[in-house]
Amino acid sequence: MFVRAFVVMNLVHSILIATLMSTHLIMWRVLKPCDAVLPGLACFAFRFPNNFCSIMDTLLHCGVIVERSLATFRTKSYRSYGQRSGVLLLVVLSVLGFLASSFAQRNFPMGVSSIYCSGAPNETIADMTIVNLSLAVFEVLVFAYTTLLYFINVRRLKEQKYDDLQRKSQMTENCEAFQLLLPLFVFHLMFSISHSIATFLLATFRKIITDDSNFRAFVASLYIIPFYTFVSPLIVQRIIIKGATRRKEKLKTILKKPDNQDEVYFGMYMEQWK
C-alpha cells in the first residue's frame, strides 16, 4: 500500500510540475514579458501540493518501516492487521504531511505575482529550510532503524529464534523485503540530505548573490525534485520486477518434481526447519 502511495505521490508531483512548466512556457511565448506572470494564489495552488508530495515521500518511508516493525515484533498477529489499519496509518501520515507543508508555506506571498512559481519565494525560504532539515534528520533516523530491523531479522534466522514455520516464513519475508527496498531507501536518503544541505546554504548564497533575478534563477536551479520523481519510480519498478522474479523462482522450486515421490511430504518440512 505504501509503495503504491509513494508512486502515486511522485506521479502527482510530476504532473503538477509539467502543468506548471507548460503554463509558464505558453505565457512566455504568447504574452509580453511584463504580462507573463501568475498571481500569487495560482503559484500557491501549484507549490503547496508539490511541497506536500515531497514531504510525503519521507513519511511514506516511515509507513513502510512501521509495517515492517509489526512484521518483525508482532509476527503471529501481523497477518491479522487488515487493510483498514494501513489506511488509518496512511491518513495519519497525510495529516502530518499537510501540517508540515502548511508550516513551510505559511508566509507565502499570496498578493505577489510571479514570473516563475517553481522556486521557493524569499518569504518561505526560512520555514522551508527548517522543514527540509527536519526531514533530513528524520530520514537518517528512519534509515538507521531500517538497518537495525534488517539485522534483527537476519540474526533471528541464523540463530533459529522461531517456534513455528509461520514465524520463520515471516522473518524470511522481512529480510527479502528489506533487501528489495534498500536501493530506494539509499537513494532517498542521499537525495534528502543533498537537498536539505542545498536549502540550508541558500541563506549564505543570498548574501553573495545580491541581484533578486539572479538569486531567483539560482534557487530555481536547485529545485532538483523532478529528477527524484523521475528516478524513484524506476527504482520501484525494478523492485517490483525483482520481487516477482524471486516469487517465480520459489514457485518453480516448489513445483519441481523430486526423484523420490515418497519423500515429498517430509522433505518439505525438513527444508522449512533448517
CATH code, domain carrying 268? 1.20.1070
Question: Which residue blocks in 109-224 are alpha helix, DSSP H?
Answer: 125-158, 165-200, 202-208, 212-221
Domains in the chain, number: 1
pLDDT in tens, 21-73: 788 778 878 887 777 788 888 888 888 888 888 888 888 888 888 888 887 77
- Tell me which residue range forms the domain holding 152: 2-272
Burial of 73 (0-12, 13-18, 19+ CB in 10 A): exposed
Contact 71, 78 (CB under 8 A): yes
Using only C-alpha atoms, the chain has a radius of gyration, in whole angstroms, of 24
Question: What is the arithmetic mean of pLDDT over 99-122?
Answer: 80
3-state secondary structure of 114: strand
Could you tell me the three cell numbers for 60? 511514506
pLDDT at 99: 93
- Lowest-confidence pick of 143-157, 158-172, 250-264: 250-264
Question: Could you tell me which of 89, 113, 105, 1 has the C-alpha nearest to residue 54?
Answer: 105
**CB atoms inside a 10 Å sphere around CB 147:** 13
DSSP string, 73-98: H-TTTGGG--HHHHHHHHHHHHHHHH
pLDDT at 261: 52
Q: Which of 216-220, 235-239, 254-258 has the highest mean pLDDT?
A: 235-239
